[in-house]
Amino acid sequence: LCRMQDGPSSSSSRPNRRGGAATANGRMFASIQSTLRSGKEFRDQPVARQERAPRRREQPAKVLKSVDEMIEQLADLERRGEHSTSQIKANLEASTVTLEEMWDDDWARLVDVLIKMCLESDEAVFVVDLLPLFMKYSDFVDAFRERLIRVSSEYVLPSEAEQMEGGEGERKKARYEQVPSFLGSLLCARWPRGMHRDTHESNPLLFTAFEIVRGWMLVVEEGVDRPDEKNKKEEKKTEIVKKVEEEEEDESDVEAVAEALQENCRINGEERLEEEDQDSLADATSSREDSIVLLNRCCSGLAAICESQQRSLWLSRPELVDDMYKCIKQAITHNRDIDGSVKSSLLHTYLLMNEWTRSKAVTMKTVTTQTMASQ
């Protein structure tokens, strides 16, 4: 009887294992949920609704029926603000009939507007983005190449009106200062497949930009006094001296003949100097000054291209940058005709190029945006 009484009392005092396990599992599950939710309870809070970005209504492509409408849409800033770049491209692609019927004068007008946008409005990136659409037409390519070569030559060889201080001369000079940046935009542009090579068959405009830059480099390299050439000249002089000494040992009359020749050369030289006109001397002086101006402008152009495009120039055209690096280094160390300010910009460019090859190089890029105020 005592055992029977003790049995139920002992069984009732034992804990419920099933209930305890369920409670432990519940606590563990709750702790996992709190950990995943970072201790915050979101059950009672409504789920935040994500707002969708409003869909932009794409207008249908508009056919531009004349070159005046094209120029108005491209050059007029008030109308440009109403259309995106993709919309302008669509309008130009829809106007193939108008483009095919354009004459040489129409292409010349369109090219002048595009070049003016690059040089005066600083919209080279926008213009270069539109070039593949126009490059289907050979008349446009010829007109654009001719205009590009002209403005590049006017940059390195400014006219007398541009050299005048103040007024119209300063405005023209400031306009042509954007030529290196425009050339850099052509070199670093993301051309479509089939136009990315710098050959005349692949991309005549890119090929022209390459030739212009390499022409500037050639001018800088020709003005450099290389030590190898000096050594070769000295070796030639020593060889000539040795030959003369050998001839003096063999022939006794060489000295007399040499003195007579020197005397005749001196007399003839004096007569020629007396007969020379002052105009020829002035022409020689002016040509020397023009060559120095050309040298300094070419150096400034190379530095401006590197300054405008930064590291993207090295990533896009590494071989060209390597040649520019060697050219700039030789110009800094072996050319005395370069002005101090120009040589300072070349030195800055040279140090900048050394930073481009680093993996964590910090680059500076100039970006311009265009906004239109709503009334």
349 band by pLDDT with thresholds 50, 70 and 90:
very high
The reply to whether 341 falls in a domain is no
More confident residue, 71 or 22: 71
Separation of alpha carbons 245 and 254, rounded Å: 10
Q: What is the mean pLDDT of residues 138-146?
A: 94
Q: Which residues contact 130 (CB under 8 A, 6 or more apart)?
A: 74, 88, 89, 92, 114
The reply to whether 317 falls in a domain is no
pTM: 0.67
The reply to whether 185 falls in a domain is yes
Separation of alpha carbons 349 and 119, rounded Å: 22
Residue at token pair 């850099």: 184
Q: How many domains in the chain?
A: 1
Mean pLDDT, the chain, as a whole number?
77
CB 192 within 8 A of CB 130: no
Residue 243, pLDDT above cutoff 90: no
Please report the pLDDT score of residue 372 as a whole number: 45
The reply to whether 217 falls in a domain is no
More confident residue, 141 or 370: 141
The reply to whether 197 falls in a domain is yes
Separation of alpha carbons 34 and 30, rounded Å: 6
The reply to whether 76 falls in a domain is yes
Please report the pLDDT score of residue 37 as a whole number: 66
The reply to whether 343 falls in a domain is no
Nearest to 199 by CA among 212, 210, 215, 183: 210
Sign of CA dihedral 319, 322, 326, 332: positive
227 band by pLDDT with thresholds 50, 70 and 90:
low
Please report the pLDDT score of residue 39 as a whole number: 47
Amino acid identity of residue 279, one-letter, is: D
Structural domain harbouring 178? 67-202
Nearest to 313 by CA among 150, 140, 179, 180: 180
- CA torsion 354-357-358-362 (nearest 10°) is 70
The reply to whether 61 falls in a domain is no
Separation of alpha carbons 297 and 181, rounded Å: 14
Lowest mean pLDDT among 147-151, 243-247, 324-328: 243-247
